């Protein structure tokens, strides 16, 4: 007899990027040569001074349990960093350190969303939002982002989606998978609409340092009345090329700090102290590495956008941040984004269908350009060849 699982265990999906990566690895194991443009992971190594701080912490015995909310020194460094980059006061007592920023999504949704509560989620958007809302029995409500509007949040549409049952609105700027970023005026309009509806906000700012403009991107948390209702999420994975260290954080409104700390105590206890020491070195150390990586991503973005737009049938806007592009395929004779990315995989390029990020991603595919320029150039060459085959025989 099959013992029953909790129904919620059957409601949580995996992640498209990870499945495509696994398929690409399988093909490689059989001898295929694949250019990987599917995973959103920096190809740079973690900067040496950060690695050394982590190693030194292990050598000096920082290998025991630590405080659940995070080391005071790291929480202080994070509070100062967030205050300086967002232009708002941040109390270190409201900073909780987590094993990757993804945990902030999980913990926030678990702490806020009851069965039947509605959560407004950008679509296409990072898949963990919808997956976690489904897991807890909440109702995901899609906020469509359209290429023809530059993947912006349409305020009038947002207004129509807010109901008495709306508990949480999730924003992601700069965004995965679109690369779009919200302007201050847009954030002000969103704040105005949501303040009157009494909803919580999760502002996913994991790409805050990968923004290709002189000033840092604005945060909704810094607007009047918003800090009290906004969980600000950020982390180290993208900014410092530290994906495998698993280090992220949230700045939580005061009433959430106790419950989320208790969830941490009962869930994973704490983030390893040597990882947190590396985090302190990242934030307190010289920031040239961040500027250098940002400049390199920007050059790659320009290369990829230009290369894609030169392929007949593809259209690609130039994103303001993150390291993704979401080109449109409406000029091609294919029945779905997935059949196109399946075709690309056969042609030696792993990319993701836009539908891995929600149904409004149909008609698009996502490329991560956090990859060496020679690989990007080869990827573009293979995409062009696949599209030419389509035009010829499609």
Ligand X SMILES: Cc1ncc(COP(=O)(O)O)c(C=O)c1O
Cβ atoms 359, 337 nearer than 8 A: no
Q: How many residues bind ligand X (CB under 6 A)?
A: 13
Please, what is the Cα angle at 237 between 233 and 241, to 5 degrees?
Answer: 150
Is the CA virtual torsion 63, 64, 67, 68 positive or negative?
A: positive
Among residues 131, 78, 82, 79, which one has the least CA distance to residue 109? Answer: 131
Among residues 302, 306, 319, which one has the least CA distance to residue 366? Answer: 319
Binding part of the chain for ligand X, among 79-87, 98-106, 306-314, 372-380 by CB under 6 A, reads: 98-106
- Identify residues 324-383 at the interface with ligand X (CB under 6 A): none
**Site mask for ligand X (CB under 6 A), range 136-175, x = bound:** ------------------------------------x---
- Kindly tell me which residue out of 16, 54, 92, 100 binds ligand X, with binding defined by CB under 6 A: 100
- Kindly tell me which residue out of 16, 40, 272, 348 binds ligand X, with binding defined by CB under 6 A: 40
Q: Which is nearer to ligand X, 166 or 243 (CB)?
A: 243
- Kindly tell me which residue out of 69, 92, 122, 248 binds ligand X, with binding defined by CB under 6 A: 248
Binding part of the chain for ligand X, among 99-107, 155-163, 342-350, 354-362 by CB under 6 A, reads: 99-107
Q: Which residue is nearest to ligand X (CB)?
A: 100
Position 178 contacts ligand X (CB under 6 A): no
Helix (H) or strand (E) run with residue 49 in it: helix 48-59
- Kindly tell me which residue out of 166, 176, 209, 368 binds ligand X, with binding defined by CB under 6 A: 176
Can you tell me the distance from the alpha carbon of 233 to that of 235, in angstroms, rounded to the nearest whole number? 7
Q: Which is nearer to ligand X, 248 or 348 (CB)?
A: 248
Q: Which is nearer to ligand X, 132 or 341 (CB)?
A: 132
Binding part of the chain for ligand X, among 96-104, 144-152, 360-368, 383-391 by CB under 6 A, reads: 96-104
Q: Which is nearer to ligand X, 10 or 12 (CB)?
A: 12
Can you tell me the distance from the alpha carbon of 171 to that of 123, in angstroms, rounded to the nearest whole number? 10
Q: Which is nearer to ligand X, 176 or 219 (CB)?
A: 176
Is the CA virtual torsion 254, 86, 98, 355 positive or negative?
A: positive
- Kindly tell me which residue out of 75, 102, 167, 382 binds ligand X, with binding defined by CB under 6 A: 102
Concatenated DSSP letters for 274-336?
HHHHHHHHHHHS--HHHHHHHHHHHHHHHHHHHHHHTSTT-B----SBTTEE--B-TTS--S-
Q: Which is nearer to ligand X, 178 or 386 (CB)?
A: 178
- Kindly tell me which residue out of 53, 206, 344, 386 binds ligand X, with binding defined by CB under 6 A: 206
Among residues 322, 337, 344, 347, which one has the least CA distance to residue 217? Answer: 322
Tokens of 111: 């702490």
* DSSP-assigned letter for residue 390: H
Q: Which is nearer to ligand X, 34 or 202 (CB)?
A: 202
Binding part of the chain for ligand X, among 100-108, 137-145, 147-155, 264-272 by CB under 6 A, reads: 100-108
Position 36 contacts ligand X (CB under 6 A): no
Q: Burial letters for 253-287: b for 16+ Cβ neighbours within 10 Å, e otherwise?
A: beebbeebbebbeeeeebbbbbbbbbbbbbbebee
Q: Which is nearer to ligand X, 69 or 122 (CB)?
A: 122
Q: Which is nearer to ligand X, 14 or 258 (CB)?
A: 14
Position 240 contacts ligand X (CB under 6 A): no
Can you tell me the distance from the alpha carbon of 42 to that of 356, in angstroms, rounded to the nearest whole number? 20
Please, what is the Cα angle at 101 between 100 and 102, to 5 degrees?
Answer: 90
- Kindly tell me which residue out of 68, 97, 101, 145 binds ligand X, with binding defined by CB under 6 A: 101
Q: By the criterion CB under 6 A, which residues form the site for ligand X?
A: 40, 100-102, 126, 172, 176, 204, 206, 235, 237, 243, 248
């Amino acid at each position: 007899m099959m013992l029953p699982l909790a129904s919620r265990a059957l409601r949580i999906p995996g992640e498209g990027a990870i499945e495509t990566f696994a398929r690409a690895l399988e093909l490689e194991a059989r001898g295929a040569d694949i250019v990987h443009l599917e995973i959103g992971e920096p190809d740079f190594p973690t900067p040496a001074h950060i690695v050394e701080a982590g190693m030194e912490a292990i050598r000096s015995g920082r290998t025991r349990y630590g405080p659940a909310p995070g080391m005071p020194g790291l929480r202080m460094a994070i509070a100062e960093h967030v205050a300086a980059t967002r232009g708002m006061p941040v109390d270190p007592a409201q900073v909780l350190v987590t094993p990757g920023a993804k945990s902030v999504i999980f913990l926030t949704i678990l702490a806020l969303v009851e069965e039947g509560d509605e959560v407004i989620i950008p679509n296409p958007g990072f898949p963990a939002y919808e997956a976690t809302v489904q897991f807890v029995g909440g109702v995901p409500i899609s906020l469509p982002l359209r290429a023809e509007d530059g993947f912006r949040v349409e305020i009038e549409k947002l207004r129509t989606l807010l109901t008495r049952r709306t508990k949480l609105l999730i924003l992601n700027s700069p965004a995965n998978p679109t690369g779009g970023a919200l302007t201050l005026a847009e954030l002000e309009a969103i704040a105005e609409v949501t303040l009157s509806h009494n909803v919580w906000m999760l502002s996913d700012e994991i790409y805050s340092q990968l923004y290709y403009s002189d000033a840092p991107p604005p945060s909704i948390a810094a607007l009047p009345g918003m800090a009290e209702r906004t969980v600000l999420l950020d982390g180290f994975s993208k900014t410092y090329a530290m994906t495998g260290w698993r280090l992220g954080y949230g700045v939580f409104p005061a009433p959430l700090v106790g419950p989320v700390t208790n969830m941490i105590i009962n869930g994973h206890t704490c983030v390893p102290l040597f990882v947190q020491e590396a985090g302190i070195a990242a934030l307190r150390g010289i920031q040239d590495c961040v500027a250098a990586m940002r400049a390199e991503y920007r050059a790659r973005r320009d290369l990829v956008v230009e290369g894609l737009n030169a392929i007949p049938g593809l259209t690609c806007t130039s994103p303001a941040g993150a390291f993704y592009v979401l080109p449109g395929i409406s000029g091609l004779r294919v029945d779905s984004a997935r059949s196109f990315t399946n075709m690309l995989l056969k042609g030696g390029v792993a990319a993701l269908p836009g539908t891995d990020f929600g149904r409004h991603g149909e008609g698009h595919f996502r490329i991560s350009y956090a990859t060496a320029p020679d690989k990007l150039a080869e990827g573009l060459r293979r995409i062009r060849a696949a599209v030419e085959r389509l035009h010829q025989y499609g």
